[in-house]
Structure 1
């Protein structure tokens, strides 16, 4: 279930899954969560990997056992747009075909009602007193308050400007809280005072520097990783 996020208990943030169900299972087992733990899944649960439907099934079941927050990724956003309009646009070119195949539809997709509810319930961001969670990121020239006032929150799904080397090297952002995000694959998690980025390219196994699913445990800032173990990887 999706309830308010609290700093009174551990928060476990998980990066881009992209249909890698076996890797996700292994990571959760490695973490061995406590009943009071809270999960924040940072979006891009689907596409590219072969098991998008199974990932969503698993996340729905997990949400019945733990407090879970599901962030809207750009791939979920493209799927939702397709479901609204019937026009795939760029979605199929950016990994959506794997999701269609996962749901067993030829040339189209028919989501179970529970999955429709799941995607409709994904949120653009969530936050606590010290942490701000979103999929892509924030405008690095604006405070969080200004980002929320001046940008459509769906833009947070696509934001990558903050990951440019000029900003990473400076390591200084005007944000009032630490941003936790995914979206931009890096060989290792980015761990700065005001930025933690944990998309380590789980689905990209052909790149020897990527191919890991990463979890961040707060407040300790502990990193837990699982190498991709999909049979098709």
Structure 2
């Protein structure tokens, strides 16, 4: 099939990932670009990482770094973050409490290998959160912003759809790339449930960390597939729905 598929934030929902891959009929011919936030929220964060590492042996995969992945790596290396506990970390800590140190070391190596962004040959950018520098990701003063910031999406939402790239008010950073694919900020915040496009920005985070679904999108055709809502797949858990 030779598709390029982009996958939204998983947040420990392995059942959703397996389900949406089945619905999208993912094969070894597909290139898979994961936008980050593999962990925190639902109970299977370690299992998600194991699944992704195994998947990379049979598929062409690009793994980006999300803010939750970075927080997990810091915790696995001994750095405490109390705020993280309240935003999905508790379920992850519980899941890791029963695992041997050898598994944790494998996961640290995987998390350390994640990319801050990916740019393909057609000037399509894939990044977890966004960027602030007017000249693009290579010029970002604070690289952690690539998996933490929200102003790119907020600007896209606020932009007058009647103006184009040649307009004096059009955001310069939107002109650096042909398309930009992000996660990080759930589209459920604007009462949407499917991948959303504003200007040349595509947001694939459809709220899997909360009450939403996990989405996979074909970047050429813009066809997408979704899992069931995560609370339906994990009926005995609350995820981050506090």
TM-score between both structures, scaled by the size of structure 1: 0.83
1:16-37 deviation line (CA, Å, top 9, x unaligned): 1101111111001111123221
How many residue pairs get aligned? The number is: 217
Equivalent residue of 2:71, what SS? Answer: helix
The answer to whether the Cα contact below 8 Å between 1:71 and 1:122 also exists between their aligned partners in 2 is: yes
Give distance in 2, aligned partners of 1:85 and 1:51: 21
Q: Distance in 1 between matches of 2:47 and 2:78?
A: 25
For 1:14 and 1:77, the matched residues in 2 are separated by: 18
Structure 1 counterpart of 2:207: 201
Q: Unpaired segments of 5 or more residues in structure 1?
A: 1-7, 206-210
Q: Which residue of 2 aligns with 1:192?
A: 198
Task: Name the structure 1 match of 2:234.
Answer: 230
For 1:71-110, what aligned pairs fall within 5 Å after superposition?
71-105=64-98
Match of 1:37 in 2: 30
Contact 1:215 1:224 in 2 (8 A): yes
From 135, 139, 154, give the equivalent of 2:144.
Answer: 154
Ranges in structure 2 where 5+ consecutive residues have no aligned partner: 162-169, 238-242
2:129 corresponds to: 136
Q: Do the aligned residues in 1 keep the contact of 2:125 with 2:177 (CA within 8 Å)? A: no
Contact 1:20 1:52 in 2 (8 A): yes
Structure 1: distance between partners of 2:78 and 2:97: 20
Partner-residue secondary structure (3-state), 2:51:
helix
Cα RMSD after superposing both structures: 2.4
Whether 1:24 aligns to 2:30 is no
Judged with a 3 Å threshold, the aligned counterparts in structure 2 of structure 1 residues 150 and 45 are, in CA distance, closer, same or farther, namely closer
Match of 1:170 in 2: 160
Give the C-alpha shift of residue 142 in structure 1: 1.4
SS of 1:227's equivalent in the other structure is coil
Structure 1 residue 105: Cα displacement = 4.5
Whole-Å Cα distance in 1 between the matches of residues 152 and 2 of structure 2? 29
Q: 2:227 is paired with a residue of what secondary structure? A: strand
Residue number in structure 1 paired with 2:47: 54
Paired position in structure 2 for 1:115: 107
Shift, 1:11, TM fit: 1.2
Judge which range, 22-31 or 171-180, deviates more.
171-180
Whether the 8 Å CA contact 2:185–2:205 is kept in 1: the answer is yes
Q: Which is richer in helix?
A: 2
